[in-house]
A = this chain, B = another copy of it.
Amino acid sequence: MRILVTNCNTTEAMTKEIEAGARAAASAGTEVFARTPSWGPESAEGWLDSFLSAAAVLDLLRNIDEPFDAVVMAGFGEHGREGARELLDVPVVDITEAAAHLAGLLGRRYGVVTTLDRTCGLIEDSLHSAGVDRNCVAVAGAGLGVLELGDEARTEAALLTAARRVRDSGAEVLVLGCAGMTGLDRRMSALLDVPVVDGVAAAVRLAESLVALGLHTSRAGSYARPLDKHRQWPSG
């Protein structure tokens, strides 16, 4: 099985990290390859970036010339997943919903720790439209931009502070709200003594599950194949 992972921003180093996280989570027989959009924002923090990223990732998806069995969209809270479901015949799993689905199996209420406060609303909306917001009690920002996550000590301290706020709101499970946090789940879990879900890992496993069970996106209603029409894409 081959899973394509798409980064939501143009930062190649982050694509590599996400790819490594996805590979670490994948089953033995699964091949993972990650791709970076050729245009868009270097990091996605807010709606402007998210809409730019959504189109860039869709543009990327229509141009992949290798076969793949499922797509993992690695942009926490970012737009685009419904469009990818229309575009592709293979299952599409977004890391936002994936993390929430698994979190829902581990505790009665969960919460999300993300980068900047300005992205919290975006994440809340994404959880709502995916139908997994019911048991989410809080989405909190750690005051760190996506590209600042490289500083490990600072990141850990900031995430812990935000995570404690989320726990005090009643969260029994934490979700890491940024693809760039992939790999921090076990360390955070040890420090906080609650399960911590990494969306990239969750999405890889859910994508594998759908493929293994022979399940495809429904073509009845919302995610019917795109109509045949003229679309002027940036990539031509």
Contacts and interface: CB of A to CB of B under 8 A. Distances in A.
Interface in A193-220: 193-195, 197-198, 201-202, 205-206, 208-210, 212-220
A75 interface: no
B47 A221 contact: no
Sort A-B residue pairs by CB-CB distance and give the 9 closest, nearest first. Answer: A234-B234, A131-B135, A55-B55, A107-B218, A47-B82, A205-B209, A131-B134, A108-B222, A48-B83
16 contacts: A46-B83, A47-B85, A51-B79, A54-B79, A105-B206, A105-B210, A107-B218, A108-B222, A108-B223, A118-B221, A121-B222, A147-B229, A170-B221, A194-B219, A195-B215, A197-B213
Interface of A: 10, 25, 27, 38-43, 45-52, 54-56, 58, 79-80, 82-87, 91-93, 97, 101-102, 104-109, 117-118, 121, 125, 128-135, 145, 147, 167, 170, 172-173, 186, 193-195, 197-198, 201-202, 205-206, 208-210, 212-224, 226-227, 229-234
